[in-house]
Amino acid sequence: MSTTTTFLRNLTRKCSNDLLSASNFIVFSYLDCLDSMFCPIFKYLDEYFEGKASPCYCSNKAQLEENGVGTKESELSETLYRRKNVFRDMVNNLGFLKQFGNEETGSADSGSLLGNRWSECGCDSCVSWMKNGDQKLHVVVREPSPKAATKDSEVKKPVENVIFLHGIFSSSLFWTQTVFPNLSESMRNNYRLFAFDLLGFGKSPKPRGILYTLRDHVESIEKSLISPFQLNSFHIVAYSMGSIIALALAAKHSKSLKSITLIAPPYFPSKDDGASLAALNCLAPKTIWPPKAFLTAFMSWYEHLSRCLCYIICRHHRAWEVILKLLTRRRKLPFMLTDMVQHTHHSFWHNMHNVVCGGANFTDENIRTLIKSGAKINIIIAKRDKVVPSVSGKIIMEKFPNLKVDFANAGHRSVVLKREKEIARKLEQIWQNGRPNPYYMPEN
């Protein structure tokens, strides 16, 4: 009886997997074709509304470089131009796009690259960054309590700085609404907290003239945070995609780093070739089930179809917000919902590929730099993470046995959102045990 039950269970599982595989092939073949069809459509619309056809990654790498796209070879993720699509190659071979694919495609004046596109929202909150002439990031600073300076026991103790980086589809609210309120009074009195919107998200600039590479992110943080506030030493706390940027920032300023904490980092071992493609296949496999995985694949593999979705949702986010408020009977929507639409397709697309996927090429090198500098590296892995495989934690431990890796019984977002107090206590402990400030000389 047990043998028959086991046989039937295995047969059912095999049939289900075969059915899912067949469905995946049919659906994604159709999407491959549809995405290729939308390429000339968007080029025509861009030329009609803006006077020039916008560059895309339907061409091969050589053609892209001729058009002025992707000339920074080391920073451009291979997932942008090596995503397999048979129909795209057929369209390119037909030469239908030659009338759009001239050298002017990749070049535009700086004003148009800062302007709003016809397919993007033009509300005050979405274009507020354009009024900021210096194009700095939106930064939220929580200064220490003034009462801390009046305590004799703490007069000689310098205020420490902490920089927080959020993940994709998020903003500084991810930290200011969760961890900041749950820090102890002593921490709030002695630590200066910096949370900011990453380049391309929230209220920060979303220019079209950059490719949102790791270098772009690091330079924007230096320009908006480290230089203006003269941060000679600091701790770093980063979540998800922000972890990749945090490692690049920390490696460049390793002498100033006291500690770095990476929460649910998308880690994929660096390889000689194909590291970013491996990251894309792992984070966004082409599957129609579960629905969340299908949406991730849809947004990550299809440049033009994802732009359609951004046009429908992000371009008209105010209307959707009104509808959701009516349906939920809320005056204010949760910040996680509103943050998901505060980006452009250009900023999302390049952050996904050049940071999340392309960052796999630099992660190991940056970790080695930090280990060599003696900085305190702490990693928190979510055991029930459905976005980043939890097995990545074991891979990190095997490759870098000296790193501090903790496992939390939570999902990708619930590792912070449902554990605010626990995360706050954990961070306080890490900061207190951080590397001594090399720039602080105690008085005799």
Strand order from edge to edge, sheet including 404-408: 139-142, 191-196, 160-165, 234-239, 257-263, 376-382, 404-408
Give ∠ CA 69-70-72 in degrees, rounded to 5: 135
Query: What one-letter code names the amino acid at 350?
Result: H
Catalytic choice (32, 138, 166, 347): 166
Identify whether the C-beta of residue 390 lies closer than 8 Å to the C-beta of residue 407. yes
- Is residue 304 part of the annotated active site? The answer reads no
Q: How far apart are the first and last CA of the chain?
A: 82
Q: Is residue 138 annotated as a catalytic residue, yes or no?
A: no
Q: What share of the chain is helix, strand, coil (3-state, %, to 5)?
A: 50, 10, 40
Closest CA to 37 of 100, 88, 80: 88
Element (H, E) at 142: strand 139-142
**What are the structure tokens assigned to 259, written together?**
């500690």
Amino acid at 95: G
Single out the catalytic residue among 35, 46, 197, 385. 385
Give the residue among 337, 416, 410, 430 at the shortest CA–CA distance from 179. 416
Q: What is the gyration radius of the CA atoms in the chain, in angstroms?
A: 23
Of these residues, 171, 240, 300, 392, which one is catalytic? 240
Tokens read off for 33: 């074709």
Helix orientation angle between 291-301 and 275-283, rounded to the nearest 10 degrees: 140
Q: State yes or no: cis peptide before 290, omega within 30 of 0.
A: yes
Q: What is the DSSP string of 254-306?
A: TTTEEEEEEES-------SS-HHHHHHHHHS-S--SSHHHHHHHHHHH-HHHH
Q: Which listed residue (217, 253, 353, 412) is catalytic?
A: 412
Pairing of strands 234-239, 257-263: parallel
Active site residue 166: yes
For 234-254, letters b (16+ CB in 10 Å) and e give bbbbbbbbbbbbbbbbbbbbb
Q: Are strands 234-239 and 160-165 parallel, antiparallel or unpaired?
A: parallel
State the Cα–Cα distance between residues 217 and 332, nearest whole angstrom: 31
**Token duo for residue 140:** 């939220």
Q: Vertex 241, ends 235 and 247: CA angle to 5°?
A: 40
Active-site residue flag, 385: yes
How many C-beta neighbours within 10 Å does residue 120 have?
21
- Tally Cβ neighbours within 10 Å of residue 61: 16
Residues annotated catalytic, as ranges = 166, 240, 385, 412
